[in-house]
């Protein structure tokens, strides 16, 4: 917990903070899947979690933790985080086509950009909570990003974005701008769409 040479302010020891792109993921309808077939669900979530971890690594990210059907990852670059998320959804979408409809497992992904407080392998902070909130707003198989992420990538990544409005986040004063990222392959649509 070195404070980078800066003097401590007040009673705070000045925990180190760093900017990170945070990816939060969870399985849509996980309870239903487990309720219908526990063992098959465990097999699928294990394989899909490994797929996600591989993509995170390939995009220079780090899986922070992955309890149950959740996964939290951090990236030093917003571009990497978003491209990783799109790659994950496309790959899982392809894998799902091999499964019966009722057995398909879709992840919801949320990406935020913000200060985090690293503590060993863990990360803390508003930025993490906002990523989890964005994830909960995503559709099954979908991606939601915050306005701060959108501002960084919109002109750089040829994807379709849709503004979903501002949403409140528990204990965060300012509402968060939310965008949906469309993950279909193919040419990006015109701005009017």
| Residues in touch with a copy of itself (CB under 8 A) | 12-13, 15, 31-32, 34-35, 38-39, 42, 46, 65, 67-68, 70, 72, 117, 119, 122, 124-126, 128-129, 170-172
Q: Provide the token pair at 152.
A: 């960084």
Least gap, CB of 153 to a copy of itself (angstroms): 27
Least gap, CB of 50 to a copy of itself (angstroms): 11
Residue count of the chain: 193
Nearer to a copy of itself, 50 or 162 (CB): 50
Nearer to a copy of itself, 86 or 123 (CB): 123
Nearer to a copy of itself, 70 or 96 (CB): 70
Least gap, CB of 174 to a copy of itself (angstroms): 13
Instruction: Look at the block and give the residue holding tokens 């790959």.
Output: 91
Nearer to a copy of itself, 124 or 163 (CB): 124
Least gap, CB of 189 to a copy of itself (angstroms): 38
Nearer to a copy of itself, 9 or 190 (CB): 9
């Amino acid at each position: 917990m070195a404070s980078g040479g800066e003097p401590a302010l007040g009673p705070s020891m000045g925990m180190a903070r760093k900017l990170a792109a945070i990816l939060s993921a969870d399985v849509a309808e996980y309870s239903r899947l487990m309720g219908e077939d526990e063992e098959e669900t465990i097999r699928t979530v294990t394989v899909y979690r490994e797929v996600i971890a591989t993509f995170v690594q390939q995009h220079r990210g780090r899986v922070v933790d992955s309890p149950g059907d959740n996964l939290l990852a951090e990236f030093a670059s917003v571009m990497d985080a978003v491209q990783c998320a799109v790659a994950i959804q496309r790959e899982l979408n392809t894998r799902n086509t091999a499964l019966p409809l009722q057995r398909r497992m879709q992840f919801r992904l949320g990406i935020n950009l913000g200060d985090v407080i690293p503590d060993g392998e863990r990360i803390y902070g508003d930025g993490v909570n906002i990523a989890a909130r964005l994830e909960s707003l995503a559709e099954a198989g979908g991606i939601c990003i915050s306005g701060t992420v959108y501002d960084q990538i919109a002109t750089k990544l040829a994807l379709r974005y849709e503004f979903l409005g501002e949403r409140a986040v528990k204990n965060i004063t300012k509402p968060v701008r939310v965008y949906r990222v469309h993950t279909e392959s193919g040419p990006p649509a015109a701005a009017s769409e």
